[in-house]
Amino acid sequence: MHLMYFTEQPMSAYSEQAGRDFGATALMFPNTHFDPAEGSRLYNNYIEQYQLAEAVGVDGIMLNEHHNAPFCMQAKANIFAGILAAMTQRVKIVMLGNPLPLAENPVRLAEELAMIDMISKGRLVSGFVRGGGQEQLATGVNPAFNRERFEEAHELIVKAWTQPGPFRFEGTHYQHRVVNPWALPLQKPYPRVWVPGVISKETIIWAAQQRYPYIALNTSIADTKRIWQLYDKVAEETGYTAGPENRGYLIQVHVSDSEERAVANAREFRWMQGEFTGLAHPVWSTPSGYGSPNNRRAFVEFSAGRRPNPRGITSFEQQMADLRIIAGTPKTVVPKLRKILEETRPGILALWGNDGKVSQKDSLLCIKMIGEEVFPQIREIARELDLKSPFEANAPVHLRYSTDLRKTQVAAE
C-alpha cells in the first residue's frame, strides 16, 4: 500500500467574522484580508511538515492547488513540488493535481513536470484535475469547454513527453506550430498519472479508460463503493480487471496523544467544508456548462435550500459517525481505518491530517504519530488484505497515440 500525507495548506490567518459577513471565501472574498507576513509563516510551516513526513516514513506527499481561495494557499503546486524535489530524498511527490483546463500552454506544463521528475530523480507522480468551477471563472476559461480542454491538454502533454520533436499539434483548443521540449521526464515512457475526483461520473469513466488510478476524495464509504463499481465496469469493457492498484482514497484524519485534543483539532476540517464559508457559493462552484446538467441542478437546488449538499457534507458529529472524519489516538484511529480498508480496498491511502487553525505543534505531532504509530499498523493490515499499490503491482499503463489525434489505443508498456 502507498501511504501519503496531505494538507490543504489553508490561509487560516484572516478574520472569521469577515468571512461570515461576506458569505463565501472563494472567488470573490477580497484579498485585502490576506496578510503576506502570515502567509510567509504558514508556507514555511508547511515545508517543515513535509520534511517531518519524509523523516517518519511516509511514502508520498500529496500536493494540489486552488485559486482565489484562502482554504488553499497553493496557487501553483508545481512550485512546492520543485522545492520538495530538491529538499527530500525518498518520498514520492504526488501531484493531485494540475488543473489542465486552466493551462494556456500545456507544453510549458509538461516541461515543468519533467524538470520536477528529473530533479527528484524519478519520484514524481503527475496527477491531473479539471479544476474547481469557480477557478474557471477566476481564470477566464469558458466552463463549457472544461472537459474538452482537460482531455486535449492531457493528450498534448503525453505526446510532448513521448513523441520525438519537433512536431506540430493542431487541436480544437490548443495549437502549437512547434512542439519540441528540451526538458523530458526521467521516468519512461512518462511519470505515472493518477486522477482524483469526487462526484463526476465522466471523470471516473475517463480514468478507467486510461487505466489511471482514481483517487476518491473524502467520499463516503457507500459512494466510494459505487465509484469502484463504475470504474470496474468500464475497466472490464476496456479489457482489463481493476484491483486495489487502481484505487485510492483520501480521508480526513487527525491524530493526537489525547482523544479530546484530536477531536477539537478535527473540527478544523470544517474550514474546507464551508462551515464558516470556506467554499464558493454553489452557483460559482458549478457554473453553467462545467458539469452535467444533473449535477448543476443539484447544487443550484442546494443553494436555494431545497435539498442537502450534493457532496454529502453533514454535521461534524455525523461525519465522525460515518467515518468521513476520523480523530483520536492511534489506538482508536487504526480500527476505524481498518474498516475503511476492508470496505473500499484501496491500494493508495492518503491521510488529510491538518487543516484550519491547527497549531504547528499539534500538526507536527499528528504527522509524527501517523508516520511512527498509525502507518506501520496500516501496512500490516494492507498486507493481510492484499492491498497492493500501483508500485507493488508493477502495472504502469500509458496511452500509445495513433497518428490521428482523436484516436487512442490503450496498451500496457
Q: Kindly list the domain boundaries of the chain, sorted by start residue.
A: 2-412
**Rounded CA separation 215/194 (Å):** 7
Q: Return the H-helix or E-strand segment holding 19.
A: helix 16-22
**Rounded CA separation 56/188 (Å):** 29
So what's the pLDDT on residue 199?
Answer: 76
Alpha helix ranges (H) inside 243-389? 259-266, 270-273, 282-285, 293-303, 316-321, 330-344, 360-369, 375-385
Cell 482537460, located at residue: 150
So what's the pLDDT on residue 410?
Answer: 34
So what's the pLDDT on residue 278?
Answer: 55
Q: Which fold has domain 2-412?
A: TIM Barrel (3.20.20)
pLDDT in tens, the chain (413 residues): 999 999 999 988 888 888 888 888 888 889 999 999 999 999 999 999 999 999 999 999 999 999 888 888 999 999 999 999 999 999 999 999 999 999 999 999 999 999 999 999 999 999 999 988 888 888 889 999 999 999 999 999 999 999 999 999 999 999 999 999 999 999 999 999 999 998 789 999 999 999 999 999 999 999 999 999 999 999 999 999 999 999 999 999 999 999 999 999 999 998 777 655 556 777 777 787 887 666 656 666 655 566 566 566 688 999 999 999 999 999 999 999 999 999 999 999 999 999 999 999 999 999 999 999 999 999 999 999 999 999 999 755 554 333 333 333 333 33
Total residue count of the chain as it appears in this document: 413
Under 8 Å between Cβ of 214 and 195: yes
Q: How far is CA 113 from CA 157, 160, 165, 206, in A?
A: 10, 11, 17, 22
So what's the pLDDT on residue 14?
Answer: 87
Cis status of the peptide bond prior to 132, with omega within 30 of 0: no
CB atoms within 10 A of CB 274: 21
